[in-house]
Structure 1
Amino acid sequence: MAILDVVKGAATVLGLDVPNQVYGATTREMVEMQDLANVMAAEIVDAYDWQKLLIYYTITGDGVASDFDIPSDYKRMQKTSSMWSSRWLWQTMHLTGPDQWTELQVTPIATVNGYWIIFGDQFHQWPVMANGETVKFFYVSNLIVKASDNSTKTSFTEDADSFRLSERLLKLAIIYRWKQNKGQAYEQWFDDYQTLLLRDIDKDPGSKAVISGAPPVSWRGRGIAWPGTVTGAP
């Protein structure tokens, strides 16, 4: 469904004149709607790690570089994202503070783990990745809009553009936020939006299998106390 049709549907609820054009229109209401559609689309994207927007990415080391440019369509890391290296048997550790990264660079210790951080629009890996070594992870793409020629882009700019996620959800989001911005009663529309959002989030990963017996063992979400083998005296 084109964004023009989404806005038309919202306009009938909001008591606005049904537009023949949104992007390119110069009336105050449609100029507001142009911005609002993009704002609410971004809000929906940020609410969850939608599988349709996930990109599986690989960084390959060359034995020299430790800094790697962020992909051009990068929006953010998956909320539970980890980087998995071909060198280590466990996930590499994410450093969120610059001081932690600086400590690694200046402290003369031998690391027994891989580390990563984001700054300066780059991924930074430590220690330096060996030639051919890889790290793999998912990130969320910022290409949330599909154009009429099936190319993707970051925002709505034309009436024929479509949202890559749920247009129904976007319509409810536009309605509740428009009413909220205008000081009108919006609570029921917001509740409807939240209900559909949670329903779509629940469906997005696919069916949930019922597993009988002991769950499989996984390293996911576990820390490493000592990544090696401890042996005692014979």
Structure 2
Amino acid sequence: MTLLTAINQVCDVVSLSPFDNVYGSAEPNAMTMVALAQEAGDEIARRADWQKTLRQHRVAVASENLPDDFQRLTPGGSVRTAEKAFVRPVTNGGQWAVIAGMPSMQPYFFIRAGQVQFSPASAAQGAVIDYVSKNWVLHDPDGPQATFTADDDTTLFPERLLLKGIVWRWKRQKGLAYEDNLAEFEADLAQEINADRGAG
């Protein structure tokens, strides 16, 4: 299902005529649908660590920029040394100043201003960071990206969620009853998250 086919399926539900194209269209309903699709997709991507958005980054130096597509760390043990030892996170700048000034045998990391920093510095060499990419739109031939840029773009999460996410947003925007559609979206989202984790 592409952006265009998803939006045209929404049109069937909300009694609009289908579109020949939506991305870049000056037709107000098409523009609204694309905006709602982006909003829905951003939410769906944030609500789970979808398998197809999981990435790894190998570190070379003690203070290194995070990848451009970095959104967040995966939960639990997301940073490991080359020797497979977990690196403990530090989330407070004051604590980091103390830890960085008095390196220990226990490796630590701290994320600030788009950089990951390690203490001791030797822990960084070959360390691996597991993270969730912010890129959930698949755009051929360029690969994953964070926004829709064409009618034939697809998603890296189950595409029916995009359809359901647009429907309830459209109805809410038009002042129509949307609560049932929202409840259906939430139920399907929970089911798809479990399935993606292998628990469905």
> Shared fold by TM > 0.5?
yes
| Residues 83, 137 of structure 1: 8 Å contact kept | yes
Structure 1 runs of 4+ aligned residues shifted over 4 Å read none
State yes or no: 1:159 paired with 2:151.
yes
2:82 matched residue in structure 1: 86
Q: Does 1:123 align with 2:128?
A: no
Relative to structure 1, the CA distance from residue 40 to residue 207 in structure 2 (aligned partners, 3 Å threshold; closer, same or farther) is closer
Take 2:161 and 2:77, find their aligned partners in 1: how far apart are those partners? 25
Larger-gyration structure (1/2): 1
Report deviation, 1:202. Answer: 0.9
1:191 paired residue among 183, 190, 196 = 183
Over 3 Å counting, the alpha-carbon distance change for 1:197 and 1:115 in structure 2 is same
Match of 2:192 in 1: 200
- 1:181 is aligned to 2:177: no
Deviation at 1:90, TM superposition (A): 3.9
Could you tell me which runs of 5 or more consecutive residues in structure 2 were left unpaired when the two chains were aligned: none
1:140-159 equivalences in 2 (<5 Å): 140-149=132-141, 151-159=143-151
Distance in 2 between the 1:167 and 1:83 partners?
A: 30
Output one character per residue of 1:160-212: Cα deviation in whole Å (capped at 9) or x when no partner. Answer: 1111211111100011112122222111111111111111111112268xxxx
- Identity, in percent, stands at 27
CA, structure 1 residues 99+181, in 2 after alignment: closer, same or farther (shift >3 Å)? farther
Gaps of 5+ in 1: 209-234
Q: In the alignment, is the contact (CA less than 8 A) between 1:82 and 1:94 conserved in 2?
A: no
SS in structure 1 of the partner of residue 127 of structure 2 = strand
| 1:55 match: secondary structure | strand
Aligned 8 A contact 2:100 2:120 in 1: no
- Contact 2:23/2:149 (CA < 8 Å) preserved in 1? yes
What is the match of residue 54 of structure 1? 54
- Residue 90 of structure 2 corresponds to residue 95 of structure 1: yes
How many Å separate the matches in 2 of 1:20 and 1:66?
51
CA distance in 2, matches of 1:17, 1:97: 53
Q: Distance in 2 between matches of 1:80 and 1:45?
A: 19
TM-score by length of 2: 0.91
State the partner residue of 1:5.
5
Match of 1:133 among 117, 120, 125: 125
Q: Distance in 2 between matches of 1:148 and 1:118?
A: 32
Which whole-Å CA distance do the structure 1 matches of 2:37 and 2:90 have between them? 35
In the alignment, what sits opposite 2:22? 22
Q: How far apart are the structure 1 equivalents of 2:133 and 2:24?
A: 26
Q: Residue 76 of structure 1 is aligned with which of 72, 83, 88?
A: 72
1:85/1:27 Cα in 2 relative to 1: closer, same or farther (>3 Å)? same
Return the structure number with greater helix share. 2
Change (3 A) 1:170 1:80: farther
Normalising by structure 1, what TM-score?
Answer: 0.78
**Separation of aligned partners in 1, 2:100 and 2:57:** 26
CA distance in 2, matches of 1:85, 1:100: 21
Shift in CA distance, 43/207, structure 1 to aligned 2, threshold 3 Å: closer
> Distance in 2 between the 1:93 and 1:30 partners?
47
Cα deviation code 1:108-141 (max 9, x no counterpart): x4523111111121111111126x8321231111
